[in-house]
A and B are shown apart, each in its own frame.
Chain A
Amino acid sequence: MGKSWLQKSMAFLFSALMIASLCVVPASAEENAEAAPDTGVTINVYNWGEYISNGVDGTLDVNAEFTKRTGIHVNYTTFDTNESLYSKLSGGGAEYDVIIPSDYMISKLSGEGMLEKLDFDKIPNFKYIDDQFRSPAYDPENAYSVPYTWGVIGIFYNKNHVDASETTSWKVLWDPKYKGKILMFDNPRDSFGIAQKILGQSYNTTNANDWEAAANLLKQQKPLVQAYVMDQIFDKMDGGEAWLAPYYAGDAATLVENNPNIGFTIPTDEPTNSFVDAACIPKGSSHKEEAEAYINFLCDPEIAAANVSYIGYSTPESAAKELLPEETVENPIYYPPREIMDKAEVYVNLPEDTNMLLDTLWAEVKMGGSGESTTLMAVLAAFLLFYIGIVIHKRRKRKRELQ
């Protein structure tokens, strides 16, 4: 094998890489002539995936706009669950300046002293935040967080198979006639929450019996459930594979508006969950002032409107609502009527022992009872025996061959 093909193919590999990296360059060269002077500071922002207007398809590139206006650079990264945010923060080694967790995670983080108190003099745009979103249950003194988006949970249903009148209660998710067509959340708080509301409990109960009862209800539902999923519900509902799925109202934009067969209801027979994702500054941030400038920027009604119209969730600012199209603001999916909001309950962080109980119960619901784990052990043991058998057999064979 000579060198010629090698050198050439290596050259090709590197030129392919160069092309790939060239595609990356224009993004950073996008700066405008009238930009603010470069401060040389970069803040690390940690947000949910697909949770900011990013400049695709004619939308506003919020991070680039922030850099243009303030001269502060943004290293923007994303997470998939509150729990992975928590493990990243508590693991150490990663210094973030702005994070956007949900309600219960904010109370957990502030309870553990992992959040910095905000200086609201540096966040003048906080004045746009509506009264009902100030001093929420997860941050009663409103010291640590500035709301970013909010929403409620409702039920997506296939209009060809499910009647809208059935979906006013969470109980429809337990209806045996939809066996195999029901999806559930793949996270414990949202799944237990639905069962808890059917049983008339609070989401934030610390009574172990309440959680056991909710777990029993979920176990009864399990044979009817097609799958426990998160983002897959879009494909499964869109393709008609599933007919009923609880999910976040803000995501209705992509489904209900583009697929005439899919409807969305926020159940009224029992209360629903309302959630808030809010911006915070973690302890140890080395650019607190710049982080506050970023949070202030996110509260600018124009920016907030650009973000929520990209994300699809609801904005906590009336001033931003005015900039949105009327059919969005008047749509009860995005801005549910007062009576739903008054009944809706927010998740608050649970004490450690309740959290542990919740984790065990959730594992039981998803994996089935102890009966199934004994089968699993039996299968594993059988495999082990089989393997040992093979090893012994080979040994004997080798010995025989040697003799």
Chain B
Amino acid sequence: MKVLSKVYCFFIYLFLYAPIVVLIVFSFNDSTTMSRSVWSGFSFKWYGQLFSDRLIMQALGNTILIAVVAAVVSTILGTAAAIGINSLKRWPRRLVMNITNLPMVNPEIVTGVSMMLLFVIAVRAINTSLGIGSIMIAHITFCLPYVILSVKPKLSQMDQNLYEAALDLGYRPSQAFLKVVFPEIIPGIVTGMIMAFTLSIDDFIISYFTSGTTQTLPIYIYSMTRKRISPEINALSTLLFAIVLVLLLIVNLRKEKENKEILHEEEEP
């Protein structure tokens, strides 16, 4: 049985990571045909080309800028909303939660098209055109429910009396929030922010409809399909994957270290 479960795990991880391994291997492929399936030697050629390709770099810059703005703004709005929702009575809270969850189950294409229609009307009224602003608004909108969903559980786990106790002991409401509530819910806030960031970075459908004349990386990659998707994209994906991996490792290692420290402190006195 144990062997069987190991084999099962092996296959699951194989299916999960085989595509990424192939992608990384072929980012080092020294081919002139831009082939993504025939190996012809090791080189860093595509990495060099990637950094001299102005269009990819511009698209990447746009994507990161949008993701950072969307993550930060949706985290602030989402946290505020979660606090508000948490203090509602049972029925209104259920109602509001259902309304905020609706955009998550709504098909992306519906969200995309409806936002485009709305933006087109708004943009005509103020006489500009769709662009980076409209993508940011769209991304903030679809990231919001995820932030609320990751912050709210932390709030309900928290002892409701803590905040009142802080007020009783002389904190102003803002101080009470920053020094008592905020440290309690920060893991939820960070999870929400990271989720918003990743959701925004790889969104294609909603960006496609609301982008106007701005180009993000997913849209740029998709537009290459008539000719061919250049292995530069493999190189870029490899770099992104490596950065995310390193980030995750650091975060987890620190968590581990901290847990040990806590254990240590508990043991000593």
Alpha-carbon distance between A363 and B220 when the two chains are bound, in angstroms: 27
- Contact check, B33 vs A234: say whether CB atoms are below 8 A apart: yes
- Contact check, A80 vs B38: say whether CB atoms are below 8 A apart: no
Whether A77 sits at the interface, judged by CB under 8 Å, is: yes
Chain A residues with CB under 8 A of B134 = 93
- Least CB distance from A227 to B in Å reads 14
Chain A residues with CB under 8 A of B209 = 91
Q: Scoring A residues 1 to 44 as 1 if CB is less than 8 Å from chain B, else 0, what string do you get?
A: 11111101110110011001101100100100000000000001
Taking A91-B120, A239-B37 as contacts, is the C-beta distance between A81 and B226 under 8 angstroms?
yes
Chain B residues with CB under 8 A of A1 = 186-187, 255, 258
Q: Scoring A residues 48 to 64 as 1 if CB is less than 8 Å from chain B, else 0, what string do you get?
A: 11110011110001011
- When the two chains form the complex, which single residue of B54, B213, B222 contacts A80, counting CB atoms closer than 8 Å? B222
| Of A120-128, A250-258, A391-399, the one touching chain B | A250-258
Whether A367 sits at the interface, judged by CB under 8 Å, is: no
Taking A5-B254, A57-B49, A238-B37 as contacts, is the C-beta distance between A258 and B32 under 8 angstroms?
yes
Q: Which residue of B lies closest to A1 (CB)?
A: B187
Alpha-carbon distance between A81 and B226 when the two chains are bound, in angstroms: 7
- Known pairs A49-B222, A234-B33, A251-B227; list 8 more (Cβ under 8 Å): A5-B255, A9-B250, A64-B54, A77-B215, A230-B226, A238-B37, A254-B228, A258-B32
The secondary-structure label for the interface of chain B is: helix
Alpha-carbon distance between A21 and B61 when the two chains are bound, in angstroms: 6
Chain A residues with CB under 8 A of B215 = 77-78
Chain B residues with CB under 8 A of A241 = 37
Whether B42 sits at the interface, judged by CB under 8 Å, is: no
Smallest CB-CB A-B distances: 10 pairs: A49-B223, A5-B254, A24-B61, A78-B223, A49-B224, A93-B130, A93-B120, A50-B227, A239-B37, A77-B215
- Least CB distance from B7 to A in Å reads 29
- Contact check, B223 vs A79: say whether CB atoms are below 8 A apart: yes
Q: Which of A1, A2, A16 has the most CB of B within 10 A?
A: A1
Whether B68 sits at the interface, judged by CB under 8 Å, is: yes
Alpha-carbon distance between A97 and B257 when the two chains are bound, in angstroms: 56
The tally of residues in B whose CB lies under 8 Å from a CB in A reads: 59
Whether A170 sits at the interface, judged by CB under 8 Å, is: no
Whether B243 sits at the interface, judged by CB under 8 Å, is: yes
- Least CB distance from A319 to B in Å reads 25
Taking A9-B247, A51-B227, A94-B130 as contacts, is the C-beta distance between A17 and B64 under 8 angstroms?
yes
- Least CB distance from B66 to A in Å reads 12
Q: Which residue of B lies closest to A97 (CB)?
A: B213
- Contact check, B37 vs A231: say whether CB atoms are below 8 A apart: no
- Contact check, B224 vs A231: say whether CB atoms are below 8 A apart: yes
- Least CB distance from A397 to B in Å reads 24
- Least CB distance from A30 to B in Å reads 8
Whether A139 sits at the interface, judged by CB under 8 Å, is: no
Interface residues of A in 300-348 (CB under 8 A from B): 311
Q: Scoring B residues 229 to 269 as 1 if CB is less than 8 Å from chain A, else 0, what string do you get?
A: 11010000000000100010011001101100000000000
- Contact check, A50 vs B228: say whether CB atoms are below 8 A apart: yes
Q: Which of B124, B134, B220, B227 has the most CB of A within 10 A?
A: B227
- Contact check, A23 vs B57: say whether CB atoms are below 8 A apart: yes
- Contact check, A49 vs B34: say whether CB atoms are below 8 A apart: no
Alpha-carbon distance between A3 and B64 when the two chains are bound, in angstroms: 25
Alpha-carbon distance between A235 and B231 when the two chains are bound, in angstroms: 12
Interface residues of A in 362-396 (CB under 8 A from B): none
- Contact check, B38 vs A17: say whether CB atoms are below 8 A apart: no
- Contact check, B60 vs A16: say whether CB atoms are below 8 A apart: no
A-B contact pairs, 8 of them (CB 8 A): A1-B258, A5-B255, A20-B60, A56-B49, A78-B223, A94-B211, A96-B213, A238-B37
Q: Scoring B residues 60 to 81 as 1 if CB is less than 8 Å from chain A, else 0, what string do you get?
A: 1100110010000000000000
Taking A21-B64, A91-B116, A231-B224 as contacts, is the C-beta distance between A238 and B38 under 8 angstroms?
yes
Q: Which residue of B lies closest to A10 (CB)?
A: B190
Chain A residues with CB under 8 A of B243 = 16, 20
Q: Which residue of A lies closest to B49 (CB)?
A: A56
Whether B52 sits at the interface, judged by CB under 8 Å, is: yes
- Least CB distance from B79 to A in Å reads 15
- Contact check, B251 vs A5: say whether CB atoms are below 8 A apart: yes
Alpha-carbon distance between A92 and B35 when the two chains are bound, in angstroms: 37
